[in-house]
Structure 1
Amino acid sequence: MMASRRPMFTASWAQTFTYLLGVCPFSIAFLVFINSSISFVVTDLIGLHDGEGDAVGTLGFADELLALAACPLWGVLSDRIGVRQVCTAGYTIIALALVLFVQAKNIYPQLLLGRLLFSLGGAAVSTMVTAVLPVVTANRASPPLESEYVPPRADAPSSRLAGYVGMCAGCGALLSLSILLPLPAHFQQLGFSPAEAIQYSYYTAAVVALLVSVSCFVGLRNLPGEDGKEWASLWRTSRPEALTESQKLSIPAFIKTRMPYLHQFGSAIALGFHNRDIFIGYLGGFVARASSVGISLFIPLFVNSYYLKSGLCDGQPSEEANPGDIKRSCPKAYVLAAILTGVSQLIALLAAPAFGYWSEMSRQYHLPLLVACVAGVVGYLILSILPSPEFHGERGNPGIFVVMALVGISQIGAIVCSLSVLSNGILGLTSPAGEDPEPDSEHASDTLRESDEQQPLLATSAGRNQQQTTNLKGSIAGVYSFFGGAGILLLTKLGGLLFDVLSSSAPFYIMAGFNGVLVIVGVVTGLVISMRS
């Protein structure tokens, strides 16, 4: 019998648009907003003018440290309560944090607690960007016909959708820069004081976050495979043997098995050692998040350092300016850094859909991801040895724009392709040597076993493994975000240390190394697969 034509997305258009236009862009928008405006909160609202840089850096480090632990927790919870509930809770927490943030009267503990609360909500929504992707693109669970076996990855457009996810996330950053960040200036024009302008800007952002939360609650209802996932699942204790036959058929397998939380997290990590797609997805997430820091933090610092050492600021730096604040210490360097990072992000935004479609056409060897990493190796190495970051003048070279393009391609390629590879790994995982990827699967109901025995062997094995892996999608997304947070912390601390004691180019050598390791892993695992086939 011919296989029936399946839809591109198993989620409805309303659910898909809620994901692309709500979850994805605003997961970045609020983070960009708070990172870019926190210095004004510290100076204009709290009144701290001595040690501003240290306070902002400590708050950012605490944010990332909490996110490192919170992302896996939210991922595991989403396997129990559903991605819709986590998205709704995450944006609600962000709205509350934005309101409380501007009520602080001191840095410690009030502003720190506000930043940690924001980190908790931000970790939820950033993790769900990854977790919702396989839900939107997965095949609806339906028993295959006896003569029909459809591979689980055959019609999953997660790679193409991942390209739009990267583009929408980039648009979220632009949304923040063009609408949210100018709010304090607009409120001051209306006659408010600088402190009041900051407060009302945060209140406005909080209202937006609350609206996004409501849209997630409404727009992500009845997602495929999310039946039965609710808050009550956190304390549900029923075991399969205590359920009636009708209950066994109506309650999803993940509720029947009641996999312990730590077991879920451990299983998600273990899958990375057994499945090439998931392993490369994790490494790609590490490189992708580190690339974001490399562009947004170290390129401006590199430009600023060059201008200060070369005496090109023309006496512009203010004596009271913090050397780490490029906008005040050397405005000319700030303009150049903005141009270079802007070119990089523009190229990334334009290339995102292309990487999505290319990933769909090259799944086995992950060629797009490897090309992006090679671009990163070349771009960062050239950037580290350039005599000047300028594009005009005696020491300038317009080729710097080509280098920025390579860096932008590396960043968006790592983001889009790692999401695509990870999602395809979730949808298409089959256990090695016929073993079950989840040790608790022996508790599955007899009803499901009897149904499986009536199906062809290949269809039964693939369908069961796909269902079990999809039930761990949140945990896998949490581990992916964990690796990304680790990349940020490692590059921030190690790169910052070597920037001060060794060379301003040191962070770029580190980024070239990260990309190079991913290229080696991708090539080696690809060769292993070729030899086996």
Structure 2
Amino acid sequence: MARFLPTLTATRLQATTYLLGIALFSIAFLVFLNSSISFVVTDVIGRTHAVGDAVGTLGFADELLALVACPAWGLLSDRIGVRTVAVLGYAIVGISLVALVQSREVYPDLLLGRLGFSVGGAACSTMVTAVLPSMVARRVRSREEEEQQKAVAANRDVRRLQDEDRPSRDSSRGHVATASVSSELTITPGRYQSQSRSRSRHPDNPPLKLVEKLDETDGTSQLAGFVGMFTGIGALVALVGFLPLPAYFQKHGSTPAAGVQYSFYLVGVVAFVVAVGIFFGLRDLPGEEGKSITSLWRADKPSKAKLDDDLTPRASYSYLTLLTQSLKLGFTDPSIGLGYVGGFVARASSVGISLFIPLFVNAYFVREGLCKSNPHNVPDIRDECAKAYLLASGLSGIAETAALICAPLFGWLGGRIVKGMAELPLLGASMMGILGYVGFGLVENPDAFHGGDRWAMLSIIAIGISQIGSIVCSLALLGRGINNAPEEPRPGTADTLRANGHTRNSDAEAAPLLSESASDTRSAVPDRSELKGSIAGIYSLAGGAGILLLTKLGGVLFDRWTPGAPFFMLAIFNAVLFLAVAAVGGGAALRRTR
């Protein structure tokens, strides 16, 4: 599989583990639970009344807890590493699936199990975003390394001139200056580079690792497209592989309750297998060096024992610092800010497809007298109005199929778009969302398969394209924002010295290698590569806020105003995203013309 992927920093094993483990199953277990939780209520617990209310309450509690758990897991991953958080997440999912079918009552048994699943699922979904920057960044020469190479050439010319002049000096009786002991012992950047070159030429000393930076690559968008595609495949795995399991066990002699329990046990085992695969497959992930469980109680001070490749101390930052810096970037960096808004729209769109399309279809069938069911009770659609359920499933399937097909396309477009115009695919996705949601909200007869409104099918396709476009483009923008922070002069580097009016040869030699100011600056403001988990948490937080707003306000407007209200809300969300992208893109274009 890895041969089809763009150039990656990660190994083939790590990339395959990311796509087949984290990306695919992050949605598969959630789809399975959401589709089968009603059977736990009816078959395992034996409850026959107010099933829809119980399922709705469980889902709302799930989202409410995830709203807090996602940023918490993101912050934690910046301390202990994304691999550890992903492994813990899938292990918790497995335990929760087994515990869910041991419930005897909805409250508190089933509620606690669902909350446990929410905690584990939040870790899994957040790591989809957090791992991406480590996968796609290409290693290139940094500006600092280019400066070092120029300094090497300059020093070589100076030494050559000194060697040519040395015989005449040696023959004279004049005083020859010699270096003092203290100056020989002083470690400076220039002397360190010279010593490093000497060590690298010696056969017993391997060359030092080059200073590298993360650079913007087309692979960010391309891999984000594959991530979107594999999350869609994960939903299909749940629908085709997991959901038929209860019927399979019943066919082979199990009772309905036992069939549901065996299904949850089997899917729980799959979650544990995925956790083990991630544990081994994501070892030594780039950018995760030095992160471990012991970092949980590490103080907010630089560690003098460990040094980064750029020879500055690696700092450990407080959770408050990580959180505030991630939030601040949403307002100061256009890529990350648009990524947050795109995540808000994308997650809300997923609810529009999975929840409000069935409600809309069922309301139509009830209004026309084609079914006798409660249009506001989604679990009843399957049993009390099979025609409405089949139509809703067909429309949702078309939307998801369009999304599955277009996911790599959006990734490809994001990687091939004109430089400096990376927001254009997101602009197109938001426009498709405006057209699709307004069009479907105005539909009178959604049964496009049997002579219904001709715009229903086109609107559904546009909705699917908009959803996946928001997901892929927002992930790509976050990855680029993390990997391509603006160049900031570091204390003691050539940039800083030039900014202060000094020359490299005079002041670089005198600057201490491990300056105190460098440590302080680094501990005050984290590098973006050290914020990827926190940024992923805020991204998931924005998505959770979109889900809660749509489900509660959209549900109220669905009942009191019109069944198309949730779709009009989603059109407004996409319009806000469209305006934000246009403002950012227009501002960038204006700056380029100056």
Hey, what's the Cα distance between the residues in 1 that align with 2:25 and 2:56? 23
Identity %: 50
Counterpart of 1:503 in structure 2 is 562
1:19–1:320: structure 2 CA closer, same or farther, 3 Å change rule? closer
Hey, what's the Cα distance between the residues in 2 that align with 1:233 and 1:465? 18
Are the equivalent residues in 2 in contact too, given 1:152–1:466 (CA < 8 A)?
no
Say whether residues 1:369 and 2:426 are aligned partners. Answer: yes
Counterpart of 1:4 in structure 2 is none
Counterpart of 2:538 in structure 1 is 479
Counterpart of 1:409 in structure 2 is 465
Displaced runs of 4+ in structure 1, greater than 3 A?
A: 139-143, 147-156, 237-240, 247-253, 317-324, 433-436, 445-452, 463-467
Q: What do residues 313-338 of structure 1 show as CA deviations (whole Å, max 9, x unaligned)?
A: 3xxx4799957521123111111111
2:439 aligned to which of 375, 378, 382: 382
Counterpart of 2:237 in structure 1 is 175
1:416–1:286: structure 2 CA closer, same or farther, 3 Å change rule? same
Are the equivalent residues in 2 in contact too, given 1:162–1:419 (CA < 8 A)?
yes
Say whether residues 1:515 and 2:574 are aligned partners. Answer: yes
Q: What do residues 54-105 of structure 1 show as CA deviations (whole Å, max 9, x unaligned)?
A: 1100000000000000000100111111111001000000011111111111
SS across alignment from 2:527:
helix
Give 1:109-188 correspondences, 5 Å limit: 109-140=108-139, 144-146=145-147, 152-155=214-217, 157-188=219-250
Q: Flag structure 1 segments of 5+ consecutive residues without an equivalent.
A: 1-6, 437-444, 453-460
Are the equivalent residues in 1 in contact too, given 2:485–2:528 (CA < 8 A)?
yes
Counterpart of 1:289 in structure 2 is 347
Hey, what's the Cα distance between the residues in 1 that align with 2:217 and 2:526? 16
Are the equivalent residues in 1 in contact too, given 2:359–2:376 (CA < 8 A)?
no
1:447–1:231: structure 2 CA closer, same or farther, 3 Å change rule? farther
Counterpart of 2:331 in structure 1 is 273
SS across alignment from 1:325:
helix
SS across alignment from 1:91:
helix
Hey, what's the Cα distance between the residues in 2 that align with 1:190 and 1:493? 41
SS across alignment from 2:547:
helix
Give the Å deviation of 1:470.
0.8
Amino acid at match of 1:168: F
Are the equivalent residues in 2 in contact too, given 1:75–1:128 (CA < 8 A)?
yes
Q: Flag structure 2 segments of 5+ consecutive residues without an equivalent.
A: 1-5, 151-210, 492-510
1:446–1:136: structure 2 CA closer, same or farther, 3 Å change rule? farther
Counterpart of 1:346 in structure 2 is 401
Amino acid at match of 1:248: L
1:223–1:140: structure 2 CA closer, same or farther, 3 Å change rule? farther
Counterpart of 1:31 in structure 2 is 30
Q: What do residues 332-352 of structure 1 show as CA deviations (whole Å, max 9, x unaligned)?
A: 111111111111110110000
TM-score (norm 1): 0.88
Amino acid at match of 1:204: L
Hey, what's the Cα distance between the residues in 2 that align with 1:188 and 1:412? 36
1:150–1:320: structure 2 CA closer, same or farther, 3 Å change rule? closer
Hey, what's the Cα distance between the residues in 1 that align with 2:239 and 2:7? 33
Give the Å deviation of 1:519.
0.3
1:446–1:103: structure 2 CA closer, same or farther, 3 Å change rule? farther
Amino acid at match of 1:257: A
SS across alignment from 1:212:
helix
The 10-residue stretch of structure 1 (320-329 or 54-63) with the greater mean CA deviation from structure 2:
320-329
Give 1:165-244 correspondences, 5 Å limit: 165-237=227-299, 239-240=301-302, 243-244=304-305
Give the Å deviation of 1:139.
3.4
Counterpart of 1:88 in structure 2 is 87
SS across alignment from 1:44:
helix
Give the Å deviation of 1:258.
2.2
TM-score (norm 2): 0.79
1:45–1:233: structure 2 CA closer, same or farther, 3 Å change rule? same
Counterpart of 1:493 in structure 2 is 552
1:299–1:532: structure 2 CA closer, same or farther, 3 Å change rule? same
1:506–1:8: structure 2 CA closer, same or farther, 3 Å change rule? same
Are the equivalent residues in 2 in contact too, given 1:98–1:118 (CA < 8 A)?
yes
Hey, what's the Cα distance between the residues in 2 that align with 1:257 and 1:320? 56
2:307 aligned to which of 233, 237, 248: 248
Are the equivalent residues in 2 in contact too, given 1:140–1:224 (CA < 8 A)?
no
Give the Å deviation of 1:137.
1.1
1:300 aligned to which of 358, 364, 367: 358
Hey, what's the Cα distance between the residues in 2 that align with 1:126 and 1:60? 16
Give the Å deviation of 1:257.
2.5
Hey, what's the Cα distance between the residues in 2 that align with 1:521 and 1:321? 34
Q: What do residues 429-472 of structure 1 show as CA deviations (whole Å, max 9, x unaligned)?
A: 217x9799xxxxxxxx97466999xxxxxxxx9x9999810110
Hey, what's the Cα distance between the residues in 1 that align with 2:362 and 2:556? 17
